[in-house]
């Protein structure tokens, strides 16, 4: 079937008219009853799904204005504007039609629609028709601009804090209907912005202002904890940071060194059990005066490194699937071992399947992490305290990752990952460097485990399995690295965030999380095999032809007039 193509301005105007209708519909009631989550019964007060639709419609209108602007006032090249408008209109149609369809489905038919829902449905269909009627994609002309330093720093701050606000809004969505609409709108918005060509110069700007970016990200992350009024989201955020810290450690083993480790969660368990045993818990075999946190942290890291060396020394001479099987066995051995150290099947150390409960909260320099603290009129609760501590842990792990990845050791790891035989032929001791990667990754996981023990207040063997219905586990950690992007810093953090949050928000997938997990991996392999935040090398490997075409096009555009490619 061939789509009907309209003149560019006609199709863009149709898409703009549809987006304007959708925008107006958010000021009208969508349904008559507050039974649908979000209370969409009030006029001139967008809420729930209406608010998400409103933002999507505004984005589509902005791209429509950019597309309809003449050459004299053009903000984006015509081809880029058309691509962005199409993606934005798809987002408007997706989140709007989902919202009105959900009303009809949950309340029992379209009779529950109010005028706003009808206007929204018609407007979204018009926007979709305009997007489909746009002429075939024009040339994706590269965009290149550079702003004054002060303007770029201000833009970095605005973008970082804006991203944090969007993230906070997504976490704060109370209902599955609203979260799914948010995911649809955010996904198509990202696609539209990518098609506009803006990510290129924005990425260059963040690279030039990397110190401002780091400071802004740190301030925004700290600000998230300070503005929370309860523990609901800070507890989720703290667990995400634990998961992200462990995923970053695994990224050294898998992403940089290319070693497939299927039992990595055991190192997290080693750190957690060491911290629990020296925490002063009455259920600990070594109950008594607790060690200071810095001592417990070092003990957890050291024991995790020893465990990594013990498992790595005899096994790292094997490669590929054989190494994966051995590490999988190590993960199961750890779980069985702590399960049997109950005083019956073995020595009395870990309380067996009962684990070590009632782990006391940390007290560092007189600051009790279990108590609420008040600062400048703000209340910092228990999970906010641990969240802020984990921010410091993440900053340390990122620092270590950066320093190691850019060093001679990091380059040796990359060489081993690409071709171990060739690396050894060039004089790299593959065994020694792989053992070093294993030990460093284990140390970072042990560090995260020492904090996790105090966050959860209980450690049990069942928390550290290869595969379970909830993270952290080895399969989800590996998926976070692959999903986010191997060999990068932000990739595992993004992957860990998605794998932790999505099952939490999709309540109807409570008993089908593994199905959702498998479907996500299949889609990633098909649509973005390099990961959500790929390294430059991965992007070149998977999109070599596309990048070569874009560079050739850019080179032709730079040639003097009258010169043909």
How far apart CA 139 and CA 556 sit, in angstroms, is 13
Task: Say what the pLDDT of residue 404 is.
Answer: 86
Average pLDDT, the chain: 82
Which one is predicted more confidently, 131 or 288?
A: 131
**8 A C-beta contact, residue 494 and residue 534:** no
pLDDT > 70: what percent of the chain? 88
Q: What is the DSSP letter of 528?
A: -
Burial grade of 161 (CB within 10 A; 0-12, 13-18, 19 or more): middle
Residue 482 contacts residue 495 (beta carbons within 8 Å): yes
DSSP secondary structure letters along 257-291: T----S-THHHHHHHHHHHHHTTT-TTSTT-SSPP
Residue 561 confidence (pLDDT) = 38
352 vs 560: which has the higher pLDDT: 352
Is 557's pLDDT higher than 70?
no
pLDDT tens digits for 118-148?
999 999 999 999 988 887 655 556 666 777 8
Closest CA to 351 of 270, 286, 446, 267: 286
Please compute the mean of the pLDDT values over residues 153-175 and round it to a whole number.
83
Token code pair at residue 486 = 């191997």
Q: What is the arithmetic mean of pLDDT over 201-218?
A: 84
The mean pLDDT of 167-189, rounded to a whole number, is 84
- Residue 562: pLDDT band (50, 70, 90) is very low
Q: What is the mean pLDDT of residues 511-531?
A: 74
What pLDDT score does 210 carry? 82
Under DSSP, the state recorded for 100 is H
- Which pLDDT belongs to residue 108? 87
Q: For residue 547, what pLDDT is reported?
A: 55
State the average pLDDT over residues 8-24.
Answer: 91
Q: What is the pLDDT of residues 17-76, one digit of tens each?
A: 999 999 999 999 999 988 888 888 988 889 889 999 999 999 999 888 888 876 555 567
Mean pLDDT of 329-343: 86
Residue 550 pLDDT: 54
What is the model's pLDDT at position 421?
Answer: 84
The pTM assigned to this predicted structure is 0.82
Region label for 72, one of left (φ > 0), alpha (ψ between -120 and 50) or beta (otherwise): alpha
- The pLDDT of residue 290: 80
- Residue 292 DSSP class: P
pLDDT band at 231 (very low <50, low <70, confident <90, very high): confident
pLDDT tens digits, one per residue of 243-267? 888 888 888 888 888 888 888 888 9
- What's the CA gap between 13 and 7, in Å, rounded? 10
pLDDT value at 358 more than 60 = yes
Q: Residue 166 — very low, low, confident or very high, per pLDDT cuts 50/70/90?
A: confident
**Could you read off the pLDDT of 449-489 as tens digits, one per residue?**
999 998 888 888 888 887 776 667 788 888 888 888 887 88
């Amino acid at each position: 079937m061939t789509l009907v193509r309209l003149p560019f301005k006609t199709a863009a105007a149709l898409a703009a008219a549809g987006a304007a209708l959708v925008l107006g519909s958010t000021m009208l009631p969508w349904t008559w009853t507050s039974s649908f989550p979000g209370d969409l019964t009030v006029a001139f007060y967008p809420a729930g799904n209406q608010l998400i639709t409103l933002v999507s419609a505004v984005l589509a209108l902005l791209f429509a204005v950019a597309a309809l602007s003449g050459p004299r006032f053009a903000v984006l090249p015509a081809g880029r504007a058309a691509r962005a408008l199409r993606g934005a209109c798809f987002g408007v149609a997706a989140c709007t039609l989902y919202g009105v369809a959900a009303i009809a489905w949950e309340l029992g038919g379209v009779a529950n629609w109010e005028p706003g829902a009808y206007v929204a449905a018609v407007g979204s269909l018009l926007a979709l028709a305009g997007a489909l009627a746009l002429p075939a994609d024009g040339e994706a002309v590269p965009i290149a601009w550079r702003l004054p330093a002060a303007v770029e720093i201000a833009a970095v701050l605005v973008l970082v804090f804006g991203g944090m606000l969007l993230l906070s809004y997504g976490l704060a969505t109370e209902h599955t209907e609203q979260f799914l609409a948010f995911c649809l709108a955010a996904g198509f918005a990202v696609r539209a912005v990518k098609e506009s060509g803006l990510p290129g110069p924005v990425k260059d700007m963040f690279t030039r202002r990397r110190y401002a970016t780091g400071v802004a990200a740190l301030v925004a992350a700290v600000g998230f904890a300070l503005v929370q009024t309860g523990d609901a989201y800070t507890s989720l955020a703290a667990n995400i940071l634990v998961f992200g810290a462990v995923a970053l450690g695994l990224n050294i083993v898998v992403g940089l060194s290319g070693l497939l480790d299927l039992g990595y969660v055991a190192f997290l368990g080693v750190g957690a059990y060491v911290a629990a045993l020296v925490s002063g818990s009455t259920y600990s075999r070594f109950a008594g005066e607790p060690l200071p946190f810095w001592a417990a942290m070092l003990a957890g890291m050291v024991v995790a490194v020893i465990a990594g060396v013990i498992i790595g020394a005899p096994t790292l001479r094997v490669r590929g699937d054989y190494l994966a099987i051995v590490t999988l066995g190590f993960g199961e051995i750890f779980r069985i071992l702590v399960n049997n150290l109950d005083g019956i099947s073995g020595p009395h150390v870990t309380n067996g399947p009962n684990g070590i409960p009632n782990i006391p909260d940390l007290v560092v320099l007189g600051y009790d992490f279990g108590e609420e603290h008040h600062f400048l009129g703000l209340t910092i609760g228990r999970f906010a305290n641990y969240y802020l501590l984990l921010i410091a842990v993440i900053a340390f792990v990122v620092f270590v990752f950066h320093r190691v990845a850019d060093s001679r050791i990091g380059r040796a790891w990359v060489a081993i990952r690409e071709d171990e035989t060739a690396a050894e032929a060039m004089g790299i001791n593959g065994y020694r460097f792989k053992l070093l990667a294993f030990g460093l990754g284990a140390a970072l996981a042990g560090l995260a485990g020492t904090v996790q023990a105090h966050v959860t207040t209980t450690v049990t063997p069942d928390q550290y399995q290869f595969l379970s219905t909830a993270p952290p586990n080895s399969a989800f950690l590996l998926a976070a690295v692959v999903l986010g992007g191997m060999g990068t810093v932000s990739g595992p953090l993004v992957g860990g965030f998605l794998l932790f949050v999505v099952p939490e928000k999709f309540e109807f997938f409570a008993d089908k999380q593994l199905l959702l997990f498998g479907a996500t991996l299949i889609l990633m392999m098909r649509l973005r095999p390099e990961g959500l935040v790929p390294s430059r090398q991965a992007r070149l490997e998977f999109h070599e032809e596309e990048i070569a075409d874009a560079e050739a096009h850019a080179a032709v555009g730079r040639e003097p007039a009258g010169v043909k490619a």
